[in-house]
């Protein structure tokens, strides 16, 4: 046996990691007979196969060797897995997708790596996915739910996630058990969430294989620029243009708030750049328990 093998001896013998010694022996006997050099008229291919089958049997029939082999495989699998830690947003930037209508180029990246675990019979966790999601400012400020569509690996419907259709490889997923599909998720945006905050949504990443758990979906919130409002921490700032007459004489004015309209009193002799603060009409804070202020900044129309 080579010091370190990447061969899947279980697959070679057509058994799984749970198959007991007696059944492994039975399988080996059938295969050994089939590929024995004596029954194959000296065929080189059969001879090579016979050697590999014997090598597999030598390891899997020996409790000690089998254990060492399993350990090595588990280790190799672990070290080849994608890191489960939080993604590094600065270095992983190219991997980002955007919500529909935006820049979609990032969608390809999370799937560039095919789900090809060392042992196709072992449970494998799904991929973690990370995207930037553009969220309208009022939703970021006050919370809400937005539909988000992205692509991920899901269980293949054609073969019911087995990878095979009858005796042959499933043509839909080509044996991978998983296929890439667009999915739409209702994403809850917490009220007053900070711009650039990353939501970790468990189990909404790629599907796992052989009963492995799905990955995590990481969504980094990007506040969409708003025509009227700007957010500074928990305050919302709005520039309002008034006529020079209203600025001089003062009077009532209807202005938009994040979720309604309100009437304000413009003071007499209002100057350009003067501010009016409306308490409690800003962005949510303390996860929705309080709100910041709405600040109206006056600008005056030229006559
Ligand atoms: Zn399939």
What is the three-class DSSP state of 49? helix
The CA 198 to ligand 1 mean position distance, Å, reads: 33
Distance (angstroms) between ligand 1 centre and the Cα of 109 equals 22
Question: Is residue 141 included in any domain, yes or no?
Answer: yes
Query: pLDDT averaged over the chain?
Result: 83
Is residue 3, in this structure, part of any structural domain at all?
A: no
Residue ending a domain, among 181, 200, 223, is: 223
Residue 33, pLDDT > 90, answer no
Return the closest-CA partner of residue 192 out of 101, 258, 108: 258
In terms of domains, do 142 and 204 share one? yes
Residues 165, 208 within the same domain? yes
Q: Are residues 235 and 293 both part of a single domain?
A: yes
Q: How far is the centre of ligand 1, averaged over its atoms, from the C-alpha of 297 (Å)?
A: 59
The CA 10 to ligand 1 mean position distance, Å, reads: 22
* pLDDT score at 3: 47
For residues 105 and 201, state if they share a domain. Answer: yes
Residues 6+ apart with CB under 8 A from 273: 297, 298, 299
For residue 4, tell me if it sits in a domain: no
CA of 166 to the centre of ligand 1 (A): 11
In a domain, 87, yes or no: no
Q: How far is the CA of 13 from the centre of ligand 1 (A)?
A: 23
Domain count, the chain: 3
Judge whether 153 and 107 are in contact, CB under 8 Å: no
**126 & 110 share domain:** yes
CA 151 – ligand 1 centroid, Å? 17
**Looking at the structure, do residues 158 and 73 belong to the same domain, yes or no?**
no
pLDDT exceeds cutoff 90 at 1: no
Task: Assess whether 137 and 199 both reside in one domain.
Answer: yes
Domain contains 85: no
74 in the same domain as 98: no
**Ligand 1 center from residue 174 Cα (angstroms):** 6
The alpha carbon of 201 and the centre of ligand 1 are apart by a number of angstroms equal to 26
Q: How far is the CA of 169 from the centre of ligand 1 (A)?
A: 8
Output the CA 284–ligand 1 centroid distance in Å. 46
Same domain, 244 and 218: no
Asked whether residue 216 is domain-assigned, the answer is: yes
Residue 236 included in any domain: yes
Q: What is the CATH number of the domain that holds 26?
A: 1.10.287.110
Report the CATH number at residue 291. Answer: 2.60.260.20
What is the token pair recorded at 58? 């030598």
User: Ligand 1 centre from 147 Cα, in Å?
Assistant: 28
Within this chain, do residues 107 and 69 fall inside the same structural domain, yes or no?
A: no
Q: What is the domain extent for residue 114?
A: 93-223
Instruction: Specify the range with the lowest mean pLDDT, choosing from 30-44, 59-73, 224-238.
Output: 30-44
Does position 90 have pLDDT exceeding 70, yes or no?
no
CA of 208 to the centre of ligand 1 (A): 14
Per-residue pLDDT tens digits for 154-213: 999 999 999 999 999 999 999 999 999 999 999 999 999 999 999 999 999 999 988 899
Residue 113: CB atoms within 10 A of its CB come to: 9
Using alpha carbons, select from 164, 84, 68, 83 the residue that is nearest to residue 120.
164
Distance between CA 81 and CA 94 in Å, rounded? 20
Distance 127 CA to ligand 1 centre (A): 18
Is pLDDT at 125 greater than 80 in this prediction? yes
CA–centroid distance, 170 to ligand 1, in Å, is 5
Between the CA of 176 and the centroid of ligand 1 the distance, in Å, is: 7
Q: What is the pLDDT of residues 273-288, one digit of tens each?
A: 999 999 999 999 977 7
**Whether residue 270 has pLDDT greater than 90:** yes
Same domain, 214 and 238: no
pLDDT, one tens digit per residue, over 92-120 is: 333 344 333 333 333 334 444 455 545 76
Domain stop point among 202, 223, 244: 223
| pTM for the whole structure | 0.60
H-run or E-run covering 57: helix 44-60
DSSP state of 59: H
Picking from 175, 192, 223, the residue at the C-terminal end of a domain is 223
What SS3 state is found at 89?
A: coil
Are residues 215 and 100 part of one domain? yes
- Give a yes or no: residue 129 inside a domain: yes
Tokens in use for 156? 């293949």
Question: What pLDDT band is residue 292 in, cutting at 50, 70 and 90?
Answer: very high
Confidence of residue 78 (pLDDT cuts 50, 70, 90): low
């Amino acid at each position: 046996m080579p010091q370190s093998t990447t061969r899947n001896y279980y697959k070679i013998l057509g058994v799984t990691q749970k198959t007991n010694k007696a059944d492994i022996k039975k399988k080996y006997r059938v295969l050994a007979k089939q590929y024995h050099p004596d029954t194959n008229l000296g065929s080189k291919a059969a001879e090579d196969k016979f050697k590999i089958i014997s090598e597999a049997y030598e390891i899997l029939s020996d409790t000690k060797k089998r254990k060492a082999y399993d350990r090595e495989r588990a280790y190799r699998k672990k070290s080849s897995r994608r890191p489960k830690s939080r993604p590094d947003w600065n270095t992983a930037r190219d991997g980002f997708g955007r919500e529909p209508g935006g820049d979609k180029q990032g969608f390809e990246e999370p799937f560039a790596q095919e789900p090809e675990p060392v042992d196709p019979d072992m449970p494998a966790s799904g991929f973690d996915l990370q995207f930037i999601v553009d969220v309208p400012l009022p939703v970021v400020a006050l919370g809400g739910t937005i539909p988000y569509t992205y692509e991920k690996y899901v269980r293949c419907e054609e073969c019911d996630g087995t990878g095979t259709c009858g005796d042959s490889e499933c043509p839909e997923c080509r044996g991978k058990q998983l296929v890439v599909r667009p999915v739409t998720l209702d994403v809850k945006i917490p009220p007053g969430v900070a711009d650039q905050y990353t939501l970790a949504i468990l189990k909404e990443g790629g599907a796992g294989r052989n009963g492995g758990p799905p990955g995590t979906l990481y969504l980094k919130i990007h506040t969409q620029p708003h025509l009227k409002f700007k957010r500074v921490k928990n305050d919302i700032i709005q520039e309002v243009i008034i006529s020079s007459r209203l600025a001089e004489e003062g009077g009532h004015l209807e202005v938009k708030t994040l979720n309604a309209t309100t009437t304000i009193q413009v003071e007499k002799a209002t100057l350009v750049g003067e501010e009016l603060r409306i308490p409690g009409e800003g962005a949510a804070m303390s996860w929705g328990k309080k709100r910041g202020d709405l600040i109206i900044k006056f600008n005056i129309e030229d006559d």
